[in-house]
Structure formats: structure tokens, C-alpha cells
Chains A and B, each alone.
Chain A
Amino acid sequence: MTFAAGYNFLTYASIFSVGVPIAISLVKFRKLNRVLWCLLIFLLIGGLCDAVCVIYRENNALLNVFLNVFTILEGLLIFYIYKLELRKNKIIAVVFTFFSVICVWQFFILKQISVEDTVVSTMEALFVILLSGLYFHKQLSDDNITRPAKFYFFWINLSFLFYFGAGLLLFATNDFINRAPMNIASMLWGLHLLVNIGCNLLFAFGTWKIQKY
């Protein structure tokens, strides 16, 4: 099996893996709180974007527009999710403002939205890692959460941390990866897709946990 074939397989696997947490959300939809509804929307948009990327993979400009718009929506949705869980409005407001300024600067002033991006996705990853760390800190000092592993958002937070922790380096070296030979690029983005599949399964597990808490 070549890297390219492996990458194709992982692409489809990643798209279908989004179905797992979505399916569980639909099964548990009566128990879903606001956070999980946002996560469901995030997963639906993510799945849609992945599918669109496969369909329009030959049209770079359109692909970049979809990816960049998805990055913006993804960031905003995730920050909102953390706003609901962390309840630290000031920090979220600062993160949201910085992210918005960076998006506007990168996509509308410095470059265009149809151009490949490294900066916005890297900054997004950094912000999510920060918020994830803050959430772990909050759980540590929260007396109401006695067993974090039984709390649904522990798994969702962990999933975000895995995805953006692994993705940080990949997003930051996006330019290199896209100029690298096909097999290397396939290997690296294949790794990203593997992490994505793992994270979707963690999202599914976290969503399943909502009933027990």
C-alpha cells in the first residue's frame, strides 16, 4: 500500500469517523446540553468540510476558501464551548478578540481568503491548548467534580487537546508539507487524519458519558 493510497483510505475513514459522535449525539439528543449541541454543530460542519475537501481537492482556491472559513467557524465554536464550560468571560473575550483580529488581518488585509493559511490555524491551536489547560486547572480545583474521568467534558477537552496539540506542529509547518514530495505530505497529513479519527472517538465517548453524570 502506498502512502497516497493510505492517505486516501484515512481520508474516508476520518469522514466516516465523524459519524460516530454524531450518531451518539442523536441517540442521546434528549440529554444534550448546550455544550454538546455546539459540539454536534462543530462535528457536522467538520464532516461537511472534509467531504467538500475530497470533492474539490483539484480546485485549490475553492478548497482554501472552504478550509479557511472552516477554521474561523471551528475556532469560534470551540471558544464558545469553552466559554460555556470555563465561565471565564474575560479570558474568552480576549482570546476571541485576538483570534478575530488575526483572521481579519490574515484573510482580508495581508492575504486573501483563497490563499493557504498557516498563521490562523496555528494561533487557533495555541488558543485551544491554552483553554484546554485552563479547563484542567478548573477541574482540579472544582469540588463538585470528584471523579473527572466520569465527567463528559474531561474527554471532550482531552480530545481537543490531542487534536490541536498534534495539529500545532503540522499547521505551523503547513508550507513545508505542501511543498514536500507526495509521499511525505501524505504521511504527515495521514498522521493528522489518524489523530482526527482518535479525537472523534473521544468525542463520542464524552458524549456517551453525559447520561451518567
Chain B
Amino acid sequence: MENPKILALIIVLSVLAILFLITLVAMNFLLSKRKILEKENKLKDLENRTKIELIKTIVEVEEKHKSEIAKDLHDQIIPVLTLKALNLKTHITELEKGEKNYTEIRQGVDEMAALADDIREIVHGIVPKMFTSFGFIKSLETLITDMSSVNGSTATFKDNRSNGKEIMLTQIQQLTLYRTCAEILNNLMKHSKYNYLEASLEDKPGEILMTFAHDGSGITNQEIEYLTMAGSGIGLKSLQSRILSLNGKIDYSIEKGVSFIKLKIPTSNGIKN
């Protein structure tokens, strides 16, 4: 008779243990869900803050650019224009009096032509002349080839596109890509101390791949992330913001002593202008 009692007790204790376990599982589940949620919220928060930082950088860069243009116009163009206007007024007054001095008027016209050249230079500072004249590929090739003469290093450009057709990006996107490549090349020149640099352009279905491979000091994605967060300068952030505006991705890696910077730009829908 004792055995049924013992077995019954075991059953009761087991049932109570199961109920207790289920309660623990439920509590653990609720805690885990809360932790997952907190983590997701933190990530979203970080993503939003990063986006805001990048947008701020874009605005900063734009404002800086506008200031430079305004300064150039103010310092170079406006004083000369004002002077020319005053001179012309004087010449018109003399002409009205009957004093004909065409030499000074001709001089004024020549000076106006020179002023137009100055304005043209400012414009080319905004949009590179090479880019407007020869397009993205040629201007990039020229930029890279010009780097060959710097410090005895060698820089080559390879156009590995499958066909010779135009790149499927708008003019503004091509200009942004050109500026992005120019900034990357500038950073490489300043920091990597390479002897050999090879830049190549490939087009794949729906994207363009720009690869910079060099034998100098490379950097990884984690290091770039750290520098971007820690740095007070806007250089890296400006680079990131340009890539973001193209909906592209940049990847920094080092493989077997060769450093790579790979830029992927989609050419299909969703590109931000």
C-alpha cells in the first residue's frame, strides 16, 4: 500500500515541478523578448543617428561650397564689376559731352571679357572642365594617370566594362561618382604611401563596381567605422554621404598584402538624386 502512495507523491511533485518549469520558461521568454526589443531599438537609434549625422555632413559640405562660391564672387568679380560700371558711366558722360575717347571704352570691353574668363574659372571649380568636356570615364582616367607622376608611384586605370556603352547613371550621379573617386584617390595619395595603384571599372547587371587596389597601407571596414565616429573632420563623412546619395556601398579590405577599396553603385531603381 505504500507503493501507490509513493508513486502518487512522485506524480504530484513532478506535476508541480512541470508547472514551475513552465512558469520559469514563460518568464524567461518575456525577458528575452524585452532584451531583443531593446537591442533592436538601440540599433534603430544608432542607424537614425548615423543617418542624421550624414545628412548634417551633406548640408555642411553644401554650405561650405556655397560660401566658397560666394567668397570668390565677392572677392574677384563684384569689385571689378563695380569698377567697370563706374568707368563706363564716366565714359558715357564724356561721350555725351562730345569728348570721344574710344580707347578707354575698348579697354573696358577687354576687361569685361577677362572678367568673363574669371567667372568661367569659378564655374569650372564647381564642375570640372575635363568632366564637362570628356565625360566621366575619360576624366577619371586622366585624374588617375596624372597621379602616376606623384612621388615615383605608378597608377593605372582599367576599363573592364563588358561593352563600351555609356554608364547607366544620370549626369549628376556621374559627377557625384567622379567626386567620390577623386576624394578616395586624394585620401590614398595622402595616407597610403603606395607604389602601385590600379583602379578598375566594371559594370555588372544592375550595378557599377569601381575597385581601387594598391600595395600601400590599407584599412578595414571596422577601422573606417571607428575613424568616422571618432573623427571631427568632415572628410570621411563627406565621402560616406556622397556614397549614400548614390545608394551605393563601399568596402575596405586587405587581402594577402593588397589593399582594396570597392565601390558598388546600383544603376537600377532607387537611386537617390
CA distance A147 to B36 in the complex (A): 11
A99 to B: closest C-beta gap in Å: 22
Contact partner, B36, options A140, A165, A169, A177, Cβ 8 Å: A140
Tell yes or no: A193 within 8 A of B by CB.
no
By the criterion CB–CB under 8 Å, are A188 and B12 in contact? Answer: yes
| CB < 8 Å neighbour of B29 from A136, A143, A168 | A136
- 8 A Cβ contacts from B12-28 to A: 12, 14-15, 18-19, 21-22, 25-26
A10 at the A/B interface (Cβ < 8 Å)? no
Interface residues on A, range: 20 to 34
State which residues 109-163 of A face B: CB under 8 Å.
136, 139-140, 143, 145-149, 158, 161-162
Q: Distance (Å) between the CB of A130 and the closest chain B CB?
A: 14
Binds A, one of B1-9, B64-72, B110-118, B201-209: B1-9
Q: Cβ of B33: which chain A residues have Cβ within 8 Å of it? A: 139-140, 145, 147-148
**A167 → B minimal CB distance (Å):** 9
Residue of A nearest to B18 (CB): A165
B12 touches A191 (CB 8 A): yes
Contact between A143 and B40, CB atoms less than 8 A apart: yes
Contacts of B18 in A (CB 8 A): 165-166, 168-169
Chain A residue nearest in CB terms to B40: A143
- Complex contact B12–A166 (CB within 8 A): no
In the complex, chain B residues whose CB is within 8 Å of the CB of A146: 37
- Given contact pairs A136-B29, A143-B40, A176 touches B7 in the complex (Cβ within 8 A): yes
Interface residues in chain B, defined as those with a beta carbon under 8 Å from any beta carbon in chain A: 1, 4-5, 7-8, 11-12, 14-15, 18-19, 21-22, 25-26, 29-30, 32-33, 36-37, 40
- Complex A-B: 19 CB contacts under 8 Å: A136-B29, A139-B33, A140-B33, A158-B26, A161-B26, A165-B19, A165-B21, A168-B18, A169-B18, A170-B15, A173-B7, A180-B7, A180-B8, A184-B4, A187-B12, A188-B8, A188-B11, A191-B15, A195-B15
